[in-house]
Amino acid sequence: MVNNNLLHVTLNRHGMLTRRELLQIAGGGFAGMMGGSILRTLGLNAAEMKQEGRSCIMVFLTGAPSQMETWDPKPGTANGGPTKGIQTKIAGVQFAEYWPKLAAMTNDVSVIRSLAGKEAAHERGQFHLRTGHRMGPTKFPHFGSVVAQRLGDPDADIPNFVSVGNTLSSGFLGVKVAPFVISKAGELPANVSSGVGAKRFERRLTALGQQDAEFASQGASAISLEHQELYLRAAKMMTSSRLKAFTLDGESDKTQESYGKNSFGAGCLVARRLVETGVPFIEVQRGGWDMHQNLWQNMPRTAGEVDQGVSALLADLKSRGLLEKTVVLVLGEFGRTPKINQRTPEVGRDHWARNFNMLLAGGGIKGGVCVGKTSADGQEIEDRKVEVDDLFATMCECLKIDASEEMITPEGRPVRTVEEGLAIDELLS
């Protein structure tokens, strides 16, 4: 007879046990008596989770955009500079004038204005906002690699994490969930063709295997295994029918124009195509935001490309019924100083991590919500401070990933997917 005390465990918001709790129950004999049926009832069937088809697109604005020139303007104030505000669909909420298309879509889009970072150097900030962990001795994985591991198909013929532009590595999670980086969106990646016939290619793989076997015999077996994994995945990808998702084949001129005829627009369009083909995590980058100088001279073009590309992406995902299961994030590594610097010849803003902003849409995120408030001069958070851990807990919630599940570092130390923090309830539908 089952001891009912064994059933008194805490389920997360998805009705799933954490791995640690499951092991505790199994130690009491519960799992052995009940078998796999109870696991499926509690939502622990990994295959079923993968079949939900959830995905995430992270639009990373590398270089750190100014919150006052994006989605928390301060028009008419000394710190606000010449930037004007435009009304959104959210009562009392304005965006900076450079974002008319996204301002018109805020029934589907929400904004966090009170995101508080801890790193004001580019490399450290990018690490924090891509992993959810601060930079240190442990090589934490990009969140995309975590998503690839939890939601991706391990036998997929194309990668479960694709990045348009260089990004962070998979860290201690290894090559199986490493990002596949493409430098130019809309074209077949140059590194998926061997350039030789099938038999010659097979001979090359055999030679590489022999070389790695010798390497392993000298004490490098772990590295050798990673090499072999990469060779197998590369060979599988070269023959995949899904490679066409990396191109713009079949996309009309009208569709391509709607995204913008530029590299960022093409990246957003490829992101949509990759979501359609089952890739659970895609990062698309747009650099050029490190505007210590010439801020107002650079904003129209830089913001214009992102405004057009992201708004087209959201509209396209929605029209295809994909937005409800695809989380879209638009963010940078930190913000910009509320006070305008005096750099010449044209002024700008410097690094600022105390408070900045970002956009979210889709995948269980409510539209039309503004979380947090900053002071009139933009210096302080006045309401609803959001920590980076809270953001990552929210992302996990939307993707139905257990934020408390532990990962084991190479040193054997268990670390939670999200160390602490709570999902932002105001954003969850």
Q: Which has the closest alpha carbon to 167: 144, 133, 134, 192?
A: 144
Q: How far is CA 361 from the centre of its chain?
A: 12
Q: E-assigned strands of 315-413?
A: 326-331, 335-336, 351-352, 356-361, 370-371, 373-374, 381-383, 386-387, 406-408
Burial class (CB in 10 A: 0-12, 13-18, 19+), 265: buried
Alpha-carbon gap, residue 94 to 75, rounded angstroms:
10
What pLDDT score does 189 carry?
82
CATH class given for the domain over 54-187+247-427: alpha beta
What pLDDT score does 23 carry?
39
Q: What is the pLDDT along the chain (429 residues), one digit of tens a residue?
A: 334 333 333 344 343 444 444 334 344 333 333 333 333 333 434 444 454 789 999 999 999 999 999 999 999 999 999 999 999 999 999 999 999 999 999 999 999 999 999 999 999 999 999 999 999 999 999 999 999 999 999 999 999 999 999 999 999 999 999 999 999 999 988 756 545 555 665 666 566 666 666 666 666 666 666 656 655 665 667 678 899 999 999 999 999 999 999 999 999 999 999 999 999 999 999 999 999 999 999 999 999 999 999 999 999 999 999 999 999 999 999 999 999 999 989 999 999 999 999 999 999 999 999 999 999 999 999 999 999 999 999 999 999 999 999 999 999 999 999 999 999 999 998
pTM above 0.95, yes or no: no
Q: SS3 for 16-35, per residue? A: CCCHHHHHHHHHCCHHHHHC
What pLDDT score does 237 carry?
72
Q: Residue 346: which residues within 8 A CB-CB, separation 6 or more?
A: 293, 294, 295, 296, 297
b (16+ CB within 10 A) / e for 100-128: bbbbebbebbbbbbbbbbebbebebbbbb
Q: Which has the closest alpha carbon to 366: 388, 401, 397?
A: 397
What pLDDT score does 190 carry?
72
What pLDDT score does 420 carry?
95
* 408 DSSP 8-state letter: E
In 3-state terms, what secondary structure has residue 120? coil
